[in-house]
Amino acid sequence: GAGVSQTPSNKVTEKGKYVELRCDPISGHTALYWYRQSLGQGPEFLIYFQGTGAADDSGLPNDRFFAVRPEGSVSTLKIQRTERGDSAVYLCASSSPEGRTEAFFGQGTRLTVV
C-alpha cells in the first residue's frame, strides 16, 4: 500500500473484553512503532520493533498490553481485560532502516471501552 494502514479505524468494546489492533507498515520498512494518544495529549510511545523483535517495549503500561510482529511486517497490538482508561487513539508508524529517516504514521485506531 501507499502508506501505513491501521484496522479497524474505530473499535468499541466492553470493559473486560480482549481486543486486537492491526498495523500494516509501508512495504520494506523494518522499524515499526506503536503509540497511544489520549484526548488532549501528544502521542505516547508504547513499543518499537526492529524486524520481528521488540527492540524497546518500555512504554507498554502493564502486562495487559502485548504486541507481536511475527514475520517482520504486519503487527498486532493486543489488549487483554480492557479498562475504560484504555480508551484512546492507537497510532502505528514505520520507518526504513537507512539511518535516521522519517517515521510515517497511520491514521490510527480509535478504541472506546464502555
Partner 1 sequence: AQRVTQPEKLLSVFKGAPVELKCNYSYSGSPELFWYVQYSRQRLQLLLRHISRESIKGFTADLNKGETSFHLKKPFAQEEDSAMYYCALSRGDYGQNFVFGPGTRLSVLP
**What is the binding site for partner 1 (CB under 8 A)?**
3-4, 31, 33, 35, 40-45, 48, 50, 55-56, 59, 91, 93, 95, 100-108
Alpha carbons 85 and 69: distance in angstroms, whole number: 25
Least spacing, CB of residue 105 vs partner 1, in Å? 4
In this complex, which beta carbon is closest to partner 1, that of residue 35 or of residue 65?
35
Cite the beta strand spans of the chain per DSSP E.
Answer: 5-7, 10-13, 19-24, 31-37, 44-50, 53-56, 65-68, 75-79, 88-95, 104-105, 109-113
Q: How far is the CB of 53 from partner 1 (least distance, A)?
A: 12
Q: How far is the CB of 85 from partner 1 (least distance, A)?
A: 18
What would the grid cell of residue 86 be?
A: 484504555
Asked if 3 and 9 count as a contact pair (C-beta separation under 8 A), the reply is: no
Q: Which is nearer to partner 1, 14 or 27 (CB)?
A: 27
Question: What DSSP state is assigned to residue 9?
Answer: S
**CB of 4 or CB of 113, closer to partner 1:** 4
* Residue 25 or 82 with smaller CB distance to partner 1: 25
